Amino acid sequence: MSTYEASYCSQADVAQVLPEMAKYSQRSILPPNWVASGTSHLFYNYSAGSGYSVLFKDGQDLGAEHGSEPSSDNQWRYVEADSRLEYYIGGGSANTLNGSVWEFGEDQDANLTKNISRASDFVRSMAGMPIYPRKGVGSASATGNDYPEIIVMSTAHMVASFITAPYDDELSERLASKVSNPEGTGWLDMIRRGEISISQQESLQKNKGIVRRVSVNGSTTSDIVDVRGRPTARWDLIKIKITTAGTLTRGTESTIKYSTFGSSSEGLQVDEMVEDEIVTGGWDHVGRGMYVRFSAGVLTLNDTWEMEISGEIGQSDTPIKTAYIERI
């Protein structure tokens, strides 16, 4: 079986939510009921249960199940027809085996991977919209994840909820409620209502202009501190670049210059919209109906920012409000 669906978080993300996750391993302790099978060095335990993939002896992973009757040290298999666990040991007796701690369960990595996939499906179902990756140069989240952080952490919380459910129902419910709950205060609840937006949405943030540093010199002390305007493009990623360096100082005429580049049918940031204009410290036009304001300080040659804009706003970001009027 294969799938094209993505998993939204990693094991490290789950560990951040549930640092003690190792204690919630999917293992069950076997009763000390080993008996001789009648075949030399082969022993049976009829109290193993089923549905597991790994046998542990005194904490040691004995590896995958053997495909046929065990015939070498530490080989084992589960015979479902007889609900019988078989184990081979070259020296020792049933009493020797019953003196060890035996656990039957799942490999921790495999269990986490399975639950990450399951939680990702839950998040896809609950988000109320398709979830697209933030993949590409300059597009990942601040932590480098390929998906929006709120999606990553929602998935990690659901994984932690699944892992803890058999052992601590209260903790499991608390973790899941961060994602969705009957009161509607979970992260995905708020995404569905438009109270929280993710990177793929044509949100109010993009409508106002989202500025990101692309390449700013360590000696630069000025920055873009404010944005205004109404985007005249459905979407663009405007490049803002310092072409003449200098220091923006109150009471002194500025000699600093900048140019901006927008998108065209030929690609991103290839169409020069503003060429070598003065950085005034007031509202400087960057194109597409947008303006920026630089703070006082040093601006270095080739300092570069980009501004993501969108003239469209998704319906989920401007939900219809309902009010009730009653005549008294």
Listed residue (307, 277, 305, 267) closest to 289, CA to CA = 307
Does residue 179 sit in the same domain as residue 210?
no
Q: How high is the pLDDT of residue 171? A: 96
Residue 325 maps to a domain: no
Does residue 181 sit in the same domain as residue 236?
no
Q: DSSP class of residue 31? A: P
Does residue 230 sit in the same domain as residue 276?
yes
The vertex-324 CA angle with 319 and 326, nearest 5°, equals 170
Tokens standing for residue 194? 């438009």
Q: How many CB atoms lie within 10 A of CB 154?
A: 28
Residue 22 maps to a domain: no
Does residue 165 sit in the same domain as residue 221?
no
Helix (H) or strand (E) holding 319: none
Residue 233 maps to a domain: yes
Does residue 99 sit in the same domain as residue 33?
yes
* pLDDT over 90 (residue 5): no
Does residue 87 sit in the same domain as residue 125?
no
Q: How high is the pLDDT of residue 320? A: 47
Residue 198 maps to a domain: no
Enumerate residues 6+ apart whose C-beta is below 8 A from 203: 197, 310, 313, 314, 317
Q: 70: domain range?
A: 27-105
12-21, 49-58, 185-194: which range is least confident on average?
49-58
Q: How many CB atoms lie within 10 A of CB 288?
A: 21
Enumerate residues 6+ apart whose C-beta is below 8 A from 3: 117
Domain boundary among the residues 105, 126, 159 is at 105
CB-CB contact of 151 with 164 (8 Å): no
Q: 105-155: per-residue pLDDT in tens? A: 777 888 899 999 999 999 999 998 888 887 777 776 777 788 999 999 999
CB-CB contact of 189 with 127 (8 Å): no
Q: 202-250: per-residue pLDDT in tens? A: 567 778 899 999 999 999 999 999 999 999 999 999 999 999 999 999 9
Residue 295 maps to a domain: yes
Residue 285 maps to a domain: yes
Residue 21 maps to a domain: no
Q: How high is the pLDDT of residue 50? A: 67
Does residue 86 sit in the same domain as residue 114?
no
Does residue 291 sit in the same domain as residue 209?
yes
One-letter identity of residue 300: T
Q: 33-91: per-residue pLDDT in tens? A: 999 999 999 999 988 776 667 888 998 889 888 999 999 999 999 988 888 899 999 88
Listed residue (6, 18, 258) closest to 161, CA to CA = 18
Enumerate residues 6+ apart whose C-beta is below 8 A from 187: 150, 153, 154, 178, 179, 180, 196
Does residue 118 sit in the same domain as residue 189?
yes
Tokens standing for residue 278? 């003065």
Domain boundary among the residues 86, 105, 124 is at 105
Tokens standing for residue 155? 């998935």
* pLDDT over 90 (residue 186): yes
Does residue 212 sit in the same domain as residue 293?
yes
What percentage of residues in the chain have a pLDDT greater than 90?
Answer: 65
The vertex-134 CA angle with 314 and 274, nearest 5°, equals 75
Angstrom distance (rounded) from CA 177 to CA 16: 17
Residue 189 maps to a domain: yes
Tokens standing for residue 229? 């305007």
Angstrom distance (rounded) from CA 271 to CA 265: 9
Angstrom distance (rounded) from CA 99 to CA 78: 21
Q: How high is the pLDDT of residue 93? A: 92
Domain boundary among the residues 51, 80, 105 is at 105
Q: DSSP class of residue 23? A: G
Q: How high is the pLDDT of residue 54? A: 85
Identify the residue whose tokens are 């002194």. Answer: 252
- Counting the structural domains of the chain, the total is 3
Q: 302-326: per-residue pLDDT in tens? A: 999 999 999 886 555 544 444 445 5
CB-CB contact of 310 with 201 (8 Å): no
| Residue 288, Ramachandran bin (φ over 0: left; ψ between -120 and 50: alpha; else beta) | left
Does residue 99 sit in the same domain as residue 118?
no
Does residue 181 sit in the same domain as residue 226?
no
